[in-house]
Amino acid sequence: MSILDDTLRDLVMANRILAYEGVLDAYGHVSVRSPNDPGRYFISVSRSPELVTREDIIECSLDGKPVRNEPRPLYLERFIHGAIYEARPEVLGVVHSHALDVLPFSISTTPLRAVLHSAGQLGHRMQVWDIADRFGDTTMLVVNMAQGRDLAERLAGDRVVLMRGHGFAAAGRNVREVVRLSVNMPRNARALLDAIRLGGPVKGLSQGEIDKRLEMRPDGSEFHRAWEYWAKRAGCGDMLEAPPRGVTVAKPAAPKKRAVPPKKKKR
């Protein structure tokens, strides 16, 4: 398979995984930058992520325009993706989610911060972007490049940015990393909310602990296990490629032979 084939396969799997893990529902989307042209990205047409297939994937320029004529409806908020790719050349995968667990931190003064070891890769800060600050009363959807660029400016060099009363956007160095960030985002938010309810101070990750997580390679073999696990759960395990070198995959145990009782001798 070509690099493009691998990229599009991972994008289809990312849609299925994020839907199964509850990060995306009927809405929300994930995209990947084109490996052949950094000025383009791939994303599904307007379809619920759980149902996305290879035939639903289209290629867009960074301004959100399909490269080829596309009669099917597109995601209204695809401008989130193009604007982040435009601002961040190192970003190869973007997710926009409406995960409910994250929303309280987008409408309160309590900041969302990394408290779980697996959430260290979310980074040191998760700022809130409020579309009303610049654009006034809107539907709160990011429907043009001006709004997308304003969001990308708030994201700055961070991994994730919250969207007031709406959800979050996450940026990763490949599509598998951004899936991992997006799965861990609501889990981390739930843990922090539960700790706040218990009362008393909450101890999050230190700057050094987060730094060590941020230093981890996005394609490290230790992360293949999670990708494989999520793919199996989401019903797309048949799309998995061979594991990276050094990762062993257990073969299913051979079925035990049923013991056959000895025949009785005829008298």
Nearest to 189 by CA among 170, 176, 214: 170
Half-sphere exposure of 117 (CA within 13 A, CB side): 0
Q: Which of 55, 70, 77, 90 is catalytic?
A: 77
Nearest to 223 by CA among 178, 184, 177: 177
Question: Rounded distance, CA 98 to CA 27, Å?
Answer: 8
Question: Rounded distance, CA 146 to CA 253, Å?
Answer: 56
The 3-state DSSP class for residue 171 equals strand
Are the C-beta atoms of residues 178 and 30 closer than 8 Å to each other? yes
Q: Is the dihedral of CA 91, 93, 94, 100 positive or negative?
A: negative
In this structure, the strands spanning 93-97 and 167-172 are antiparallel
**The two structure tokens encoding residue 9:** 């396969």
Task: Tell me, yes or no, if 153 is annotated catalytic.
Answer: no
Are the C-beta atoms of residues 110 and 196 closer than 8 Å to each other? yes
Q: Which residues are catalytic?
A: 77
